Amino acid sequence: MRAAAVNPASSPRPPRPVGRSTRPDAAAFLVALAPLDVYVYAHSGRILFKRSLTTEEQQHLADNCQSLDVHRHGQWIKDASGAFRQLNIFPFKEQVQLVGANRVALEYLASRDDRIPKGDGALPKRDRQPPLIIYLEIALDIILANEQILREAFAAFKRCFVQLWNGKNEAIEFDNGGMSTGRRWNGKYLSGYISKPSPVTGEVDCLHIEYRICSARAVRAVGIASIADLLAFDFRAFWQKHLVLRDVDIARLGRHSLNKRFGKRRQEPGPDDRRTGQVLWRAYAYDKSGSLCVQALIQNYGSGPFLKNIPIAHFLPSSGENALVS
Q: Read out DSSP for 128-154?
A: SS--EEEEEEEEEEEE-SSHHHHHHHH
pLDDT digit string, tens, across residues 217-250? 999 999 999 999 999 999 999 999 999 999 999 9
Which residues make beta-bridge pairs with 172?
Answer: 180
CA distances from residue 61 to 56, 57, 103, 135, 241 in whole angstroms, order as listed: 9, 6, 11, 18, 32
Give the percent of the chain with pLDDT over 70: 89
pLDDT digit string, tens, across residues 191-201? 999 999 999 99
Residue 159's pLDDT is 94
What are the DSSP E strand ranges found in 21-66?
37-49
Residue 24's pLDDT is 52
- Taking residue 105's Cβ as centre, other Cβ atoms within 10 Å add up to 20
pLDDT digit string, tens, across residues 271-313? 999 999 999 999 999 988 888 999 999 999 999 999 999 999 9
pLDDT, average across residues 109-130? 80
Residue 10's pLDDT is 39
Residue 126's pLDDT is 73
Tell me how far apart the alpha carbons of residues 316 and 314 are, in angstroms, rounded to a whole number.
6
Q: What is the pTM of this model?
A: 0.85
Residue 6's pLDDT is 34
**pLDDT of 79 above 90:** no
